[in-house]
């Protein structure tokens, strides 16, 4: 052993001295310095612009985490067992509350700060924010928004983690189809209680975050039954485990879902009820109530409407997922872009230095559009969340314009889906762009992939969710067609007012220069949406007219792939571009506008490129323009390449939070990786099972077993 | 606890009884019976056709594994620590050797059987086959093909695992650019030894499979230095760890790479040499040798050629990766298709039963093309591996036609890339198509994703590798252009003989019926390849002519994205379709041809659909045809949907090997999942850290820390 460690010391020493000299060939400042020198702006200037009023706050919050040994390593990197990872998560949750980064007063003044905290914690460990958010955010909001005075008393205990609550809607057999949930809450007049019951194991509440081992309370959605009348789903505040010994109450079967693809420090669980009695006051009764005598009282005539209104305050979940995805996107790109600029492979000819792989067109084309997307999504997210909070604000002082609610719903649904998809693809591409080293856990791309993955599923499966946006768009189109005004308080569907002009228009693009003009880009993006909607309408109609058996449901489903789904995506991408454009125009730091404009053009053209076939269907663009579009995407990738390191510098978390040897800002990828690997405990350990490698295997000693099966198989032939 | 388990028993009982009755609504035979009844063929008939001469062999091999308790659970599912997972892997490796599924005589007669065994083991656990293959396959083959008589003595010890060997080419700083490896082997005339040395930590051999803890030998590639002449990379057989105590030899620093995104029971490692002496006989000297006196003797005048010839026998690695990817693809689709047919969500109207999600057009479009790809790739793989082995066979009796070598190289390079990409996307889509339940580790899609992932990287990064195919195609095109014959012993580029006719042609498609004709499909696929090659040629030329500074290297790189890369993919897809077509035409079971033809059309049209823009660039297809193409893809998805369950039945491994509750062949997704989750150890365990959830957190008790940073940040502003 001593011998080995001597050698290691020798090599590690070499690693340290070599890294900063020969290999990189770069000037002082490390392997990334040359790219940083090429960029048109200072990353810190960009960061200040992007973070805006939260610039100092984020800085201080990062500094706080960095001085705390508990935050030295993200949970997923500790290689802990699931059990220990959860233990660590509890410690982290408690610590975050101890810091109290935001006070109630802060939140009151600027609710967006909650998202800032959540995203910042996510950049450290993806499952930490949801873990806190599920109880202190979602669960608490249920009490506030669905409950009444009597439910508010729990809030202080939630804030101090004495009560940990969860949100139990999904069942084993039902997720997307919310209306089909089977759990019942039958009112018992005599005892003035509800009897919660799972009529079958299929009704077991499933997937509930924090329920596996942590939560002691849940908001459970169950069908409210009085006598023989089923009033549909209602929310109930349900004690699950005792406060004294954390064991489930009688009548409650609660358990853990076990290992997931990611987010394993967050415990998802299931619960079934066996005639479990809870007091009448457990009903979260803001919108509907049951009198002690068992009379049902509701502002809504229709159970579906009531349910919709009940869930409405939770729409913030989708907005916040855009932020979580974006946070993951930033980390992934910080890693892959820096590595691509530092990793050299192949040289044009002998005796010429190798090129950083970011210099290859293919690598640029694989990564740069995501860098653009990262910036475009960020400005969209700031805009969307701003409107989300002001909508919540207005809701306090009176009813909100239903048109605004509908538009926000459409935007957050498609926004969540599109942000999730882009991030999914960017992470996978990043992993592949880092070659072999991308497959090492320590470099963090795997964790990002696994932890980001459920963003596509929870808070609504993306492919189901985006249909809400399609519905909104079809309604908007119908308004246009029937001469009614387009209702668009946020302006996202205002372009439909020019529907017929758009549909008949052609793209006015003659040179690459035209392709950089936001108005020209938006024209194409709006045309694409309008065209797809028109086609969707035509298709829907032709299916409906094709036979008597066809109902709206199946006509709708048969119009999904190329029309409704495509239109909703196109719509959202157009909104992203429009908002990015608006942000750039009002960007106070004029020197940043140049690079931001390139990112806008790259993002828009990249998304249009995938739909050239659609744009050509009705000759909106010519073949020549299509070629120009493709060439311009490549040209922009090449330009953005020189800005890319600074662009990711401006959005990356600090090195000790990003925690990726090949993604560190110093670009010393080999030194960092080498030192990380060689100092990992166990690195030089002799396999404890080494002796079991001997004696030599008796080759074929069990062959008789196989032979007998072979005989049987052949004779049965 | 007793109370809890009573409830569980109650619920589990319900689960068992309920599952086979009410919920599914299906007739006896479970939730999948109705789809099975709709299909046009018997899965077992299909399996017999697909497995061909290996049908009985595979049956017997599965039966053998199933009776063995060691194979009760795939390693990745055991939730073992990395240490224990590797221990388990050693046991499994030894056991496989004990069964000796193939004898030397079997292999001699039909070498393909090695791939059958490897794929079958992969269906059980993805990292098991590589683990065995790296030593018993790749390492052994290095000795056989690169070494001479004196190296063969190790073979028996390799076969019994006494010697475990690995393949060490990649270094920390170099992977794809093989020529830049830095490890040196300097010949010392006086002692007649080579001195292996890592001149810098950057030269550390990295990523080497089995080297982390298992291997005692390695084939190391190092630059052979005699005097001051560098003869380039040569392979050496190098002892790494002693046979007696499994400790590294002095001068050898060997360690473990730690956790990877997947394949964690396989230990990847690194090794650096410090003036480590090995005997002259260690050089694997088939193609080049050093005499005792230090004279260098080689059949090759050029180091690069020599290196190419040295590695040539290993091209089988890429062929076998096609098989590994295909195996993963089959498992993923078995899970997602069965689940989609069993999972019901939403109904057209109240009181109507919910629809299986496979009935939704979107779900069909997301999954069915991959089902088609799975069959298309399978026939391509059988064809490719057949030719691979006959090429190896001919190599024994004399030199092989260089044109054949070149064509095989192009096919296996692009084949590996395309199979890897399709499988990557199919697994991710499968995970998403299973909604929330797809995110449970027990359902196995995560393991498949993580374990399949490196197929994109090792044996050549896909995006680098496929450039080999581009080169081959450009050479073929040049031959055509200069009036030379197209050299294509396997016929894959024979279509280039009609290059100019193809380029000028139009697609003869008037109706959906035309789109089902293989000749029509192949016409489009060949046109696409030819067109992209032509464009690539034009582009290359125009770049070369554009300025004096431009070298071939950078012209090549600037022609990647839309041309060279795209052409290589298009070429390979055309080969897949051509081989699938040939297979169908000679399929002995005539009743299967119908469904196979649909799969062929779906695969081909789906791949063309993504390139409609390209096909329209020069008006090969009209806008009308483009629309028809898109509609036909959807129509075929709808048709294949009714065959899909049987199609995956025919390729899925047995349930106990697939090991996915929602993917089991009985389709009892809820019962299986419920029982798996509730019987997982720890499911009902109270969190060991529950007491740490109390006392209530002192909210804000550490706020002062944050405040101080906040103050600092704001004042520095
Ligand atoms: C990590 C994680 C945490 C979660 N946390 C919670 C929680 O705290 N509380 C809670 O209540 N739930 C939670 N969930 C559950 C989650 O909300 C659901 O999984 C989600 O809503 C998706 O529903 P599903 O699983 O039923 O998907 P399904 O609807 O079954 O989807 C399966 C497939 O069918 C497709 N599909 C379904 N309907 C249609 C249609 N009409 N048209 C086209 N395609 C269709 C989908 O696109 C998908 O491909 C969590 C899930 C996960 C993975
Ligand atoms: C699980 C695993 C097991 C392995 N096992 C072994 C083993 O047993 N023995 C062994 O010797 N090695 C092994 N390897 C190493 C493996 O062979 C290399 O990782 C692989 O060849 C890729 O090379 P790289 O990592 O250098 O990628 P790089 O070449 O560094 O690629 C990084 C990025 O640059 C891009 N790029 C590079 N060059 C170009 C170009 N010219 N044009 C366009 N783009 C370019 C790539 O596409 C990629 O996106 C293993 C790797 C893994 C992940």
Burial classification of residue B423, based on how many CB atoms lie within 10 Å of its CB (0-12 exposed, 13-18 middle, 19 or more buried): buried
**pLDDT value at position B717?**
58
pLDDT > 70: percent of chain A = 96
Q: Please state, in angstroms and rounded to a whole number, the distance separating the CA atoms of residues B70 and A465.
A: 44
Q: For residue A399, what pLDDT band results from cuts at 50, 70 and 90?
A: confident
- Is the Cβ–Cβ distance between B227 and B211 less than 8 Å? no
- The residue ranking higher by pLDDT, A308 or A272, is A272
Q: Which residues contact A623 (CB under 8 A, 6 or more apart)?
A: A616, B616, B617, B618, B619
Mean pLDDT in residue range A639-656: 98
What tokens does B496 get? 């280039």
The string of pLDDT tens digits covering residues A142-185 is 999 999 999 999 999 999 999 999 999 999 999 999 999 999 99
The string of pLDDT tens digits covering residues A479-503 is 999 999 999 999 999 999 999 999 9
Is residue A24 pLDDT above 70, yes or no? no
Query: Given CB atoms, is A99 within the 8 Å cutoff of chain B?
Result: yes
Length of chain B: 717
Q: Is A260 helix (H, G, I), strand (E, B) or coil?
A: strand
Which residue from B minimizes the CA distance to A714?
B56
Q: Which helix (H) or strand (E) covers residue A87, if one does?
A: helix A82-99
Known binding residue B475? Answer is no
pLDDT > 90: percent of chain A = 88
pLDDT > 90: percent of chain B = 88
What's the pTM value of the predicted model, to 2 decimals?
Answer: 0.96
Q: Which residues of B are catalytic?
A: 459
What tokens does B512 get? 């959906």
Stretch 651-670 of chain B: residues touching chain A, C-beta under 8 Å: 670
Which of A269, A451, A461 to mutate to test ligand 1, by most ligand atoms within 8 A of the CB atom?
A461
Q: For residue B396, what pLDDT band results from cuts at 50, 70 and 90?
A: confident
Tell me which residue of A653, A667, A669 sits closest to A437, measured CA to CA: A669
CA distances from A659 to A115, A124, B331 (A): 22, 8, 34
- Is the Cβ–Cβ distance between B320 and B458 less than 8 Å? no
**pLDDT value at position B15?**
42
Is residue A193 pLDDT above 80, yes or no? yes
Q: Which residue has the tokens 């002995």?
A: B588
Q: Which residue has the tokens 């290297």?
A: B553
The string of pLDDT tens digits covering residues B119-157 is 999 999 998 998 999 999 999 999 999 999 999 999 999
Query: Given CB atoms, is B21 within the 8 Å cutoff of chain A?
Result: no
B390: distance to nearest CA of chain A, Å?
Answer: 26
Nearest by CB to A11, from B18, B272, B349: name it.
Answer: B272
Is residue A290 pLDDT above 90, yes or no? yes
- The residue ranking higher by pLDDT, B76 or A88, is A88
Diameter over CA atoms, chain A:
92
User: What average pLDDT is seen over chain A?
Assistant: 94
- Count of alpha carbons within 13 angstroms of residue B631, beta-carbon side: 10
Burial classification of residue B562, based on how many CB atoms lie within 10 Å of its CB (0-12 exposed, 13-18 middle, 19 or more buried): buried
Give the number of A-B residue pairs with CB atoms closer than 8 Å.
Answer: 451
Is residue B20 pLDDT above 80, yes or no? no
Nearest by CB to B8, from A253, A267, A680: name it.
Answer: A253
Mean pLDDT in residue range A460-477: 97
Cα end-to-end distance, chain A, whole Å? 59
Q: At what angle do helices A316-342 and A361-396 cross, to 10 degrees?
A: 160
Mean pLDDT in residue range A432-461: 97
Mean pLDDT in residue range A416-426: 98
The string of pLDDT tens digits covering residues A538-551 is 999 999 998 777 88
The string of pLDDT tens digits covering residues B236-260 is 999 999 999 999 999 999 999 999 9
Which residues of chain A neighbour B439 with C-beta distances below 8 Å?
260-262, 453-454, 457
**pLDDT value at position B14?**
42
Sequence-ordered alpha helix ranges (H) in B482-517: 499-504
The string of pLDDT tens digits covering residues B298-352 is 989 889 899 988 988 888 999 999 999 999 999 999 999 999 999 999 999 888 9
A483: distance to nearest CA of chain B, Å?
Answer: 30
- Is the Cβ–Cβ distance between A193 and A209 less than 8 Å? no
Interface residue of A242, A436, A539, A715 to substitute, partner B, most B CBs within 10 Å: A436
Q: Is B704 helix (H, G, I), strand (E, B) or coil?
A: helix
Known binding residue B170? Answer is yes
The string of pLDDT tens digits covering residues A553-565 is 999 999 999 999 9
User: What average pLDDT is seen over chain B?
Assistant: 94
B181 C-alpha to ligand 2 centroid (Å): 13
Is residue B175 pLDDT above 80, yes or no? yes
Nearest by CB to A436, from B256, B457, B695: name it.
Answer: B457
B205: distance to nearest CA of chain A, Å?
Answer: 11
The string of pLDDT tens digits covering residues B98-124 is 999 999 999 999 999 999 999 999 999
Length of chain A: 717
**Nearest ligand to residue A430 Cα:** 2
Ligand 1 proximity of B433 Cβ (cutoff 6 Å) = yes
Is residue B2 pLDDT above 60, yes or no? no
A293: distance to nearest CA of chain B, Å?
Answer: 31
What tokens does B635 get? 């129509």
Ligand 2 proximity of A343 Cβ (cutoff 6 Å) = yes
Q: Flag the least confident range among A7-21, A304-318, A648-662.
A: A7-21
**pLDDT value at position A98?**
97
**pLDDT value at position A549?**
77
A457 C-alpha to ligand 1 centroid (Å): 5
**pLDDT value at position A717?**
58
- Answer yes or no: do A260 and B450 touch at CB < 8 A: no
Mean pLDDT in residue range A318-330: 97
CA distances from B464 to A362, A561, B172, B459 (A): 10, 33, 18, 11
> Per DSSP, which regions of A117-203 are E strands?
165-168, 184-188, 193-197
Q: For residue A315, what pLDDT band results from cuts at 50, 70 and 90?
A: confident
Is residue B16 pLDDT above 80, yes or no? no
A83 C-alpha to ligand 1 centroid (Å): 26
What tokens does B235 get? 């392979």
Is residue A8 pLDDT above 90, yes or no? no
| Annotated catalytic residue A459 | yes
- Is the Cβ–Cβ distance between B60 and B39 less than 8 Å? no
Which of A181, A240, A458, A557 to mutate to test ligand 1, by most ligand atoms within 8 A of the CB atom?
A458
Q: For residue A4, what pLDDT band results from cuts at 50, 70 and 90?
A: very low
**Nearest ligand to residue B127 Cα:** 2
Diameter over CA atoms, chain B:
92
Kindly list the domain boundaries of chain A, sorted by start residue: 2-159, 165-302
- Is the Cβ–Cβ distance between A328 and A658 less than 8 Å? no
Fold for the domain defined by A165-302: Butyryl-CoA Dehydrogenase, subunit A; domain 2 (2.40.110)
A334 C-alpha to ligand 2 centroid (Å): 20
């Amino acid at each position: 052993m001593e011998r080995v460690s001597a050698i290691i010391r020798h090599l590690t020493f070499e690693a340290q001295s070599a890294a900063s000299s020969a290999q990189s060939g770069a000037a002082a400042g490390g392997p990334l310095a040359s790219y940083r020198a090429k960029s048109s702006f200072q990353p810190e200037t960009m960061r200040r612009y992007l973070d805006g009023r939260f610039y100092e706050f984020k800085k201080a919050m990062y500094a706080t985490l960095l001085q705390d040994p508990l935050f030295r390593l993200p949970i997923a990197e500790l290689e802990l067992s699931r059990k220990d990872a959860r233990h660590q998560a509890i410690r982290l949750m408690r610590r975050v509350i101890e810091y109290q980064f935001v006070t109630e007063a802060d939140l009151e003044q600027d609710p967006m700060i909650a998202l800032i905290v959540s995203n910042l914690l996510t950049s450290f460990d993806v499952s930490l924010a949801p873990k806190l958010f599920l109880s202190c955010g979602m669960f608490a909001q249920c009490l506030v928004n669905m409950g009444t005075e009597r439910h508010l008393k729990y809030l202080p205990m939630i804030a101090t983690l004495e009560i940990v609550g969860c949100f139990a809607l999904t069942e084993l057999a039902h997720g997307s189809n919310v209306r089909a949930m089977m759990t019942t809450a039958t009112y018992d007049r005599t005892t003035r209680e509800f009897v919660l019951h799972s009529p079958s194991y299929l009704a077991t509440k499933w997937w509930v975050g924090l329920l596996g081992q942590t939560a002691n309370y849940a908001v459970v959605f169950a069908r409210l039954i009085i006598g023989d009348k089923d009033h549909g789903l209602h929310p109930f505040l349900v004690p699950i485990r005792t406060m004294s010994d954390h064991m489930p109450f009688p009548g409650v079967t609660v358990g853990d879902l076990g290992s997931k693809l990611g987010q394993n420090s967050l415990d998802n669980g299931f619960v079934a009820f066996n005639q479990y009695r809870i007091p009448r006051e457990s009903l979260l009764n803001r919108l509907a109530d049951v009198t002690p005598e068992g009379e049902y009282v509701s502002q809504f005539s229709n159970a579906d409407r009531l349910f919709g209104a009940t869930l409405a305050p939770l729409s913030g979940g989708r907005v916040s997922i855009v932020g979580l995805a974006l946070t993951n996107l930033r980390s992934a790109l910080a890693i892959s872009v820096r590595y691509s600029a530092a990793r050299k492979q192949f040289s044009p000819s002998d005796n010429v230095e190798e090129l950083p792989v970011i210099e290859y067109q293919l690598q640029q084309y694989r990564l740069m559009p995501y860098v653009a997307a990262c910036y475009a999504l960020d400005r969209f997210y700031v805009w969307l969340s701003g409107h989300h909070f002001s909508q919540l604000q207005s809701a306090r002082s009176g009813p909100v314009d239903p048109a605004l609610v509908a538009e926000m719903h459409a935007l957050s649904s498609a926004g969540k889906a599109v942000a999730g998809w882009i991030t999914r693809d960017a992470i996978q591409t990043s992993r592949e762009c880092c070659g072999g080293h991308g497959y090492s856990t320590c470099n963090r791309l795997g964790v990002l992939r696994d932890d980001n993955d459920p963003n596509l599923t929870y808070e609504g499966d993306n492919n189901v969710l985006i249909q809400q946006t399609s519905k909104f768009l079809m309604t908007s189109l119908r308004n246009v067609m029937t001469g009614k005004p387009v209702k668009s308080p946020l302006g996202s569907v205002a372009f439909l007012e020019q529907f017929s002009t758009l549909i008949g228009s052609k793209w006015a693009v003659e040179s690459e220069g035209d392709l950089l003009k936001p108005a020209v880009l938006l024209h194409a993006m709006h045309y694409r949406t309008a065209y797809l909607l028109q086609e969707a309408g035509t298709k829907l109609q032709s299916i409906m007219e094709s036979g008597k058996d066809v109902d709206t449901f199946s006509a709708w489903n048969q119009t999904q792939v190329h029309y409704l789904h495509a239109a909703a995506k196109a719509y959202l991408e157009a909104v992203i571009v429009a908002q990015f454009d608006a942000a750039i125009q009002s960007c106070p730091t004029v020197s940043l506008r140049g690079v931001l404009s390139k990112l806008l053009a790259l993002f828009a053209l990249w998304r249009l490129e995938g739909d050239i076939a659609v744009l050509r269907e009705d000759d909106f663009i010519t073949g020549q323009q299509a070629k120009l579009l493709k060439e311009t995407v490549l040209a922009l990738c090449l330009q953005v390449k020189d800005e890319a390191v600074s662009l990711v510098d401006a959005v990356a978390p600090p090195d000790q939070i990003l925690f990726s040897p090949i993604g560190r800002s110093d670009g010393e990828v080999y030194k960092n990786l080498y030192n990380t690997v060689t100092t990992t405990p166990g690195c030089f350990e002799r396999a404890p099972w080494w002796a079991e490698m001997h004696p030599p295997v008796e080759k074929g000693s069990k062959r008789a077993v196989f032979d007998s099966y072979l005989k049987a198989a052949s004779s049965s032939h």
